[in-house]
């Protein structure tokens, strides 16, 4: 699915001249060290052949729960909503909330989407000719809570409810003929503990520190009796400040799903705007995923940063094969609309492998915040 996406500063649509002036000054020149909250509203315009014109709106509200404690991390609320001319839509509300002194960390993500995606099959070597366009309806509600138990160490619980349904938009498609579990969709509940170590200097544009997140638990299929399993997610991030302008960052991710007869929509997928940029999310999917990436970040000025990145990763069913690792590399640009909080608009272009007989895989990503 080729997709062009634009996030445009909302000041283009602000009617009040005084409000517009303040917003432009904040967005382009003003530095604020008072720890005030900030709101960035953005119109969203996108186009893809499968969806037609997509129009929407996104707003990011960032703030500190305690402005008197300089160690309290940045909290935020993110609200995107969009609609296409083919009656497709998506909406969500996400929050990442740090209580004063980082004593508790709360996360939430609730949303609904009625949107197409391409299914290629299962495994690390799926073929482009098997591409099937599906319409997926998904409702999800994700909640997490961690408490600081030692310095930089957090223990908590996570719960995730997901409801999927699918419609095959192509008669006699590969999806309709292949033998996989979960074609009709279903409801699943994920729940389990989490352990986090986090001594990053800041959780937005990190200059130094270490972040490790290990979580896992059980998966219960609410309306199906043919699958019950579990999951484990491991996320590692290391940041090294090489100088005042250069930061070298590393990220490793290892995730897997347990149980037999796993529905295809619960399998791990390789590729998105955060990990293995350059691959279509879902082009490769299986029970296990291992991915590594690094970034060299150069802060050109207070407002602008450049990034070069590279990595490798693979999905597999049971046995890891070093020869199955796929490469990715690329670069990007950052614009910091909130310098004090380190919050940016991110534009990345990622390049992946070239499968035999197909075009080289690649992708352009426009997002808020860093990839990791």
**Residue 2 banded pLDDT, cuts 50, 70, 90:** very low
| HEC secondary structure over the chain | CCEEEEECCHHHHCCCHHHHHHHHHHHHCCCCCCCCCEEEEEEEEEEECCCEEEEEEEEEEEECCCCCCCCCCCEEEEEEEEEECCCCEEEEEEEEEECHHHCEEEEEEEEEEEEEEEECCCECCCCHHHCEEEEEEEEEEEEEEEEEEECCEEEEEEEEEEEEEEEECCCCCHHHHCCCCCCCCEEEEEEEEEEEEECCCCCCCCCCEEEEEEEEEEEEECCCCCCEEEEEEEEEEEEEECCCCEEEEEEEEEEEECCCCCCHHHCEEECCCCCCCCCCCCCEEECEEEEEEEEEEEECCCCEEEEEEEEEEEEECCCCCHHHCEEEEEEEEEEEEECCCCEEEEEEEEECCCCCCCCCCEEEEEEECCCC
- Predicted confidence at residue 45, as pLDDT, reads 80
**Residue 26 banded pLDDT, cuts 50, 70, 90:** low
- The residue written with tokens 């529905």 in the block is 263
What does residue 70 show for φ and ψ, rounded to 5 degrees? -70, -15
Q: Which one is predicted more confidently, 30 or 217? A: 217
> What is the tens place of the pLDDT at every residue in 30-79?
555 557 898 988 888 877 767 778 899 999 999 999 988 888 999 999 99
Domains of the chain: 3-368 (2.40.160.50)
> What is the tens place of the pLDDT at every residue in 344-359?
999 999 999 999 999 9
- Per DSSP bridges, beta strands 268-270 and 246-257 are unpaired
> What is the tens place of the pLDDT at every residue in 135-149?
999 999 999 999 999
> What is the tens place of the pLDDT at every residue in 126-136?
999 999 999 99
Q: What is the mean pLDDT of the chain?
A: 89
- Predicted confidence at residue 33, as pLDDT, reads 53
> What is the tens place of the pLDDT at every residue in 159-172?
999 999 999 978 88
pLDDT at 255 over 80: yes
- Predicted confidence at residue 226, as pLDDT, reads 76
**Residue 27 banded pLDDT, cuts 50, 70, 90:** low
Residue whose C-alpha is closest to residue 183's, from 200, 168, 204? 168
Q: Which one is predicted more confidently, 153 or 184? A: 153
Q: Which one is predicted more confidently, 86 or 256? A: 256
**Residue 1 banded pLDDT, cuts 50, 70, 90:** very low
Q: What is the mean pLDDT of residues 235-248?
A: 97
Token pair for residue 172? 């006699």
pLDDT at 372 over 80: yes
Q: What is the mean pLDDT of residues 3-11?
A: 47
Task: Tell me the sheet residues that pair with 119.
Answer: 132
Residue 115 Cα distances to 84, 87, 138, angstroms: 9, 9, 9
What does residue 130 show for φ and ψ, rounded to 5 degrees? -90, 5
- Predicted confidence at residue 9, as pLDDT, reads 45
- Predicted confidence at residue 34, as pLDDT, reads 59
pLDDT at 8 over 70: no
**Residue 7 banded pLDDT, cuts 50, 70, 90:** low
Within 8 A by CB and 6+ apart from 25, the residues are: none
- Percentage above 90 pLDDT, the chain: 76
Q: What is the mean pLDDT of residues 170-175?
A: 88
Q: CA 43, CA 28: separation in Å to the nearest integer?
A: 18
Q: What is the mean pLDDT of residues 239-254?
A: 97
> What is the tens place of the pLDDT at every residue in 315-345?
999 999 999 999 999 999 999 989 989 999 9
pLDDT at 15 over 50: no
**Residue 14 banded pLDDT, cuts 50, 70, 90:** very low
Token pair for residue 245? 């302008």
The CA R_g of the chain, rounded to the nearest whole Å, is: 21
What does residue 341 show for φ and ψ, rounded to 5 degrees? -90, -10
- Predicted confidence at residue 4, as pLDDT, reads 47
- Per DSSP bridges, beta strands 153-168 and 38-48 are unpaired
Q: What is the mean pLDDT of residues 300-310?
A: 97
Task: Tell me the sheet residues that pair with 52.
Answer: 48
Note the pTM of the prediction, 2 decimals: 0.87
Q: CA 215, CA 188: separation in Å to the nearest integer?
A: 17
Instruction: Confirm if 131 and 174 have CB atoms less than 8 A apart.
Output: yes
- Predicted confidence at residue 12, as pLDDT, reads 39
């Amino acid at each position: 699915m080729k997709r062009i996406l634009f996030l445009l500063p909302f000041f283009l649509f602000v009617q009040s001249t005084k409000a517009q002036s303040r917003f432009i000054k904040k967005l382009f020149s003003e530095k604020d060290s008072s720890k005030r909250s900030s709101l960035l509203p953005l119109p969203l315009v996108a186009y893809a052949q499968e969806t037609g014109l997509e129009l929407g709106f996104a707003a990011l509200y960032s703030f500190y729960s305690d402005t008197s404690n300089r160690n309290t991390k940045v909290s935020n609320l993110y609200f995107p909503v969009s609609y296409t001319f083919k009656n497709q839509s998506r909406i969500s509300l996400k929050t990442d909330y740090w209580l004063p002194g980082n004593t508790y960390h709360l996360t939430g993500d609730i949303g609904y989407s009625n949107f197409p995606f391409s299914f290629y099959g299962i495994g690390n070597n799926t073929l482009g000719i098997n591409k099937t366009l599906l319409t997926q309806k998904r409702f999800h509600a994700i909640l997490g809570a961690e408490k600081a138990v030692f310095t930089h160490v957090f223990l908590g619980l996570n719960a995730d409810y997901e409801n999927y349904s699918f419609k095959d938009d192509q008669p006699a498609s590969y999806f309709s003929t292949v033998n996989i579990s979960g074609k009709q969709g279903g409801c699943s509940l994920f729940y389990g503990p989490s352990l986090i170590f986090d001594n990053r200097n800041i959780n937005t544009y990190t200059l130094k520190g270490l972040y490790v997140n290990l979580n896992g638990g059980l998966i219960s299929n609410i309306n199906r009796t043919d699958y019950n399993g579990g999951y484990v997610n491991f996320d590692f991030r290391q940041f090294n400040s090489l100088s005042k302008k250069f930061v070298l960052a590393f990220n490793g991710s290892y995730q897997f799903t347990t149980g037999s007869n796993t529905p295809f929509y619960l399998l791990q997928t390789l590729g998105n705007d955060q990990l293995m940029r350059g691959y279509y999310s879902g082009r490769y999917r299986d029970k296990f995923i291992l991915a590594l990436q690094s970034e060299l970040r150069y802060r050109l000025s207070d407002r602008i940063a450049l990034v070069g990145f590279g990595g490798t990763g693979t999905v597999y069913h049971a046995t890891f094969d070093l020869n199955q690792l796929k490469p990715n590399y690329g670069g990007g640009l950052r614009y910091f609309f909130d310098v004090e909080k380190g919050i940016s608009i991110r534009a990345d272009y990622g390049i992946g492998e070239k499968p035999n007989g197909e075009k080289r895989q690649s992708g352009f990503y426009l997002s808020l915040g860093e990839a990791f």
